[in-house]
Amino acid sequence: MWNQLDLAQINYFKLLLALIFQSVFGACFTIWASSVIGNMSQMGNVWSRFIFPMWFMGGFQFSWKAVYHVFPIVAWINLINPMIYITESVRGALLVQADYLNFWLCLMIISLFSAIFLAMGMSNLKKKLDYV
């Protein structure tokens, strides 16, 4: 890969933006995950029901357009997975933007998912921590 990755083509500004948006999403997702976990024994349930499927179908092994060419219906369903936007935004920053989802659209959708997870997590935590 060292001979195939041209470091001069990397857009470092976009890469920094993608990493910042990824970190914000991770923080918001963690708040939501902590709001649905009753105790540490339930962490396995969250891992197996949410985190692993998000990672597995998140586009780390393949791009969204590669899935679209093989299984279009699965690709469209996969657009509800926030991890696909994270991986596609990093690909858009590291590689030429040709065969990936639009970088700026990915950042907007990551922001939307972050806001949704933050709102749900804060609502759940308020219900959980309110004794009145």
Q: How far is CA 126 from CA 35, 106, 113, in A?
A: 9, 30, 20
| Global confidence as pTM | 0.83
Residues written for the chain: 132
**CA 97 to CA 126: how far, in whole Å?**
42
- Tell me the per-residue pLDDT of 17-63, one tens digit each, with 9 for 90 and over: 999 999 999 999 999 988 888 777 777 777 777 777 788 778 788 88
Among 28-32, 38-42, 73-77, 78-82, the minimum mean pLDDT is found in 38-42
DSSP structural state of residue 79: T
H/E element, 75: helix 72-78
Contacts (Cβ under 8 Å, ≥6 apart) of 10? 93, 94
To which residue do tokens 């998000």 refer?
Answer: 54
